Chain A
């Protein structure tokens, strides 16, 4: 069994039942997991910013292009679109002090961007743990498609 770290702006895919995809310490970033339970293949996106702007190249750094790329890569790897289960976690607002600019709703904007993109792709979210003011470590188990979160000082729990 190996732990595969999904870094900032990365997508990782695996079909090894022993693997666990992990996004460590997500704050405003968002972790989106997709899983095909029959093909037993899953992938995770760790996106930083909500939307790719016009002059930038689409990449997994952005939630909108990242979600799309995650889906494409999963399909390419043998997943079937109709079987895909989507789970996501993260998108917290780490700073909520009065007097700070709204730059910091970035967590909320990441979550909204994921909702929008998934809606466009006609994919439903089966479970989520998003928002709030708390960082999360997100795990996606290839063996059964379980997504878990762990917060500071807490135990890992399935969502």
Chain B
């Protein structure tokens, strides 16, 4: 199944995703206790080969928090943070001086997993609110590894669908502190169909 994604559709998805990201940032801000901005929310078709070059390249150490989404909206949510930024985030979460966290133990991991859980759920809630479609995220799964290896989760899923993947993506920024958290959402093909009819339905109203 090959779907032509016209610009208008992408724009509508972008609007949908933008509210999702903003809602996610709100959840994120609430958790960190400081305002978080969403930078460059985009919806784009990315060639499979370009995926591992996110976040400075496939060999960068990073933390990935993955949620599998089931329900009327199904797909995959992956929050990916460079390791040094993840340390900073843990410091903020645990109210420590920045530079305190140097490795990820059980506590640190669960704090980060919670970040993924919360942002993912907030994103999905916004999407459900706008479309009336239900979604149910799995518990968060954590990965601490090289960017390329973490993103293989996405490439293997996307690769099975085609040579390009439709991705909602945004970066979160805290004040002058750029947390460089990439937020990837990959809807399943069936969900894309539903979103398409939802969007075109809205247009005729």
Contact = CB atoms under 8 A, between A and B. Distances in A.
Report the contact-size class of chain B (Cβ under 8 Å from the partner).
20 to 34
Interface stretch (A24-32, A72-80, A115-123): A24-32
B155 interface: yes
Contacts of A61: 48, 159
Contacts, number: 100
B145 interface: yes
Given A8-B49, A100-B141, A25 B159 contact: no
B156 to A, nearest CB: 5
Interface in B104-161: 138-139, 141, 143-153, 155-157, 159-160
B156 A9 contact: no
Given A8-B49, A94-B143, A99-B139, A24 B148 contact: yes
B139 A27 contact: no
A13 interface: no
Interface of A: 7-10, 24-29, 48-49, 61, 92, 94-97, 99-101, 103-104, 106, 134-137, 152-153
Interface of B: 48-49, 51-52, 57-59, 61, 64, 66, 68, 138-139, 141, 143-153, 155-157, 159-160
